[in-house]
Amino acid sequence: MDKKYLENDECAVSPVIGVILMVAVTVVLSSIVGSAAFGMVGNINKMNLVVVSAQQTNSTTIEFTFMGGPDAGAVQYLNATVDGEQADPPADYEPDVGSVWTHTDDGISFHTSGGFTGRNHVVVAATFDDGSAQVVLDTYV
- CATH of residue 84: 2.60.40.10
| CA 32-24-39 angle, 5° bins | 10
Name which of 77, 59, 61 is nearest 136 in CA terms.
77
Spatial separation of the C-alpha atoms in residues 125 and 66, rounded to whole Å: 11
pLDDT above 70: percentage of residues in the chain: 74
Domain that holds residue 120: 51-140
Tally of CB atoms within 10 A around 64? 24
Do residues 77 and 132 share a domain? yes
CA quadruple 28, 30, 35, 40: dihedral sign: positive
Name which of 122, 110, 141 is nearest 78 in CA terms.
122
Do residues 75 and 133 share a domain? yes
Torsions phi, psi for 75 (to 5 deg): -75, 125
Name which of 35, 50, 23 is nearest 125 in CA terms.
50
Tell me the residue length of the chain. 141
Domain count, the chain: 2
* pLDDT tens digits along 2-24: 555 556 655 656 777 888 889 99
Do residues 23 and 63 share a domain? no
Do residues 34 and 93 share a domain? no
* pLDDT tens digits along 52-84: 888 888 777 888 888 888 998 898 888 888 888
Residue 46 lies inside a defined structural domain of this protein: no
Do residues 101 and 128 share a domain? yes
Do residues 76 and 58 share a domain? yes
Do residues 69 and 98 share a domain? yes
Question: pTM above 0.75?
Answer: no
Name which of 70, 68, 64 is nearest 96 in CA terms.
68
Spatial separation of the C-alpha atoms in residues 139 and 5, rounded to whole Å: 78
Spatial separation of the C-alpha atoms in residues 93 and 115, rounded to whole Å: 24
Residue 67 lies inside a defined structural domain of this protein: yes
